[in-house]
Amino acid sequence: MTGRDIDGPAHMLVGRRLLVTGAGGGIGQAIVARLRQAGGMVVGTDVRAPLAGCRQDDRRQDPDLIIGDVAHRDAAHAIVSDAARHMGGIDGIVHCAMWMRYAPLDQIMPDDLHRMMAIGVGAPLWCTQAARPYLSQGGSIVHLSSVAALRGSANCAAYGAAKGAITALTRHLAAELGPDGIRVNAIAPGFVDTPSARRKVGEERIARREGTSALGRCATAPDVANLAAFLLSDQAQAISGETFVIDGGRNATMMGD
């Protein structure tokens, strides 16, 4: 894959074979769509939700969607193997899979913490481990971290710990895989304006976040997807081990939630 001419955003991923975990969520769906628009061959995996454009009753027949739980090592290895077999290899992965539950310190339960760590940290580790034999010079891995890894807020300790682990994992894998020409980076979104997130957060809090951001807006799922596509492409071939905040400039204002 090295030495390929960079052919602009519309074609930046032509010939790339890409796996997206958590592909049924709002951000995951946007990433799948953007990578395909950029010419990539994409397989998505999710524990249950279908990809955009895939009817619920057809999802098990969709060759570009693998239903499975990447939080478990054996399942993650099987999913990666199936994806590689379907595409003829793997050149990049975007790790979107996550489960979260916000709670004050005294209400954090063992099952919730275990699930957040298993999906948020274990899944990208297992998938990368499984994909390592397929990845070669020019390969790229993108993790989804969060601004919760970079700044503190109430009721977010468990989720922030999981995302902080992803930020650390990004640097360590970049160091370990870099000599083989494999790049590893992370995206740390703030609030991402999707319909489900808007329902959960509420209009008042969204307006406050927009009002305290440098750009007067929050990030959208397509914003995150554009950055993921860039990081997977040769246009980012000198970038590895970094975490990129995407939040409309809100992190720059040092405003809490």
pLDDT digits (tens, 9 = 90+) for 155-180: 778 888 999 999 999 999 999 999 99
Q: Domain range holding 29?
A: 11-249
Q: Please state which of the ranges 99-113, 115-129, 196-210, 219-233 shows the lowest mean pLDDT.
A: 196-210
Radius of gyration of the chain (CA): 18
**Residue ranges of E strands in the chain:** 17-21, 41-46, 65-67, 92-95, 140-144, 183-189, 243-246
5-38 confidence digits (pLDDT tens): 334 566 899 999 999 999 988 899 999 999 999 9
Q: Is 21 in contact with 94 (CB distance < 8 Å)? A: yes
On whether residue 1 sits in a domain, the answer given is: no
Mean pLDDT value across the chain: 86
Q: Helix H segments across 18-109?
A: 26-37, 73-87
On whether residue 190 sits in a domain, the answer given is: yes
On whether residue 256 sits in a domain, the answer given is: no
Quote the CA–CA distance of 197 and 207 in Å, as a whole number: 13
What is the per-residue pLDDT for 48? 76
Q: What is the mean pLDDT of residues 241-248?
A: 91
On whether residue 38 sits in a domain, the answer given is: yes
| Structural domains in the chain (count) | 1
Q: Is residue 102 flagged as an active site residue?
A: no
On whether residue 36 sits in a domain, the answer given is: yes
Q: Assign residue 55 the CATH number of its domain.
A: 3.40.50.720
What is the per-residue pLDDT for 197? 72
On whether residue 6 sits in a domain, the answer given is: no
On whether residue 255 sits in a domain, the answer given is: no
On whether residue 129 sits in a domain, the answer given is: yes
* Model pTM score: 0.87
159, 165, 177, 243: the catalytic one is 159
What is the per-residue pLDDT for 4? 40
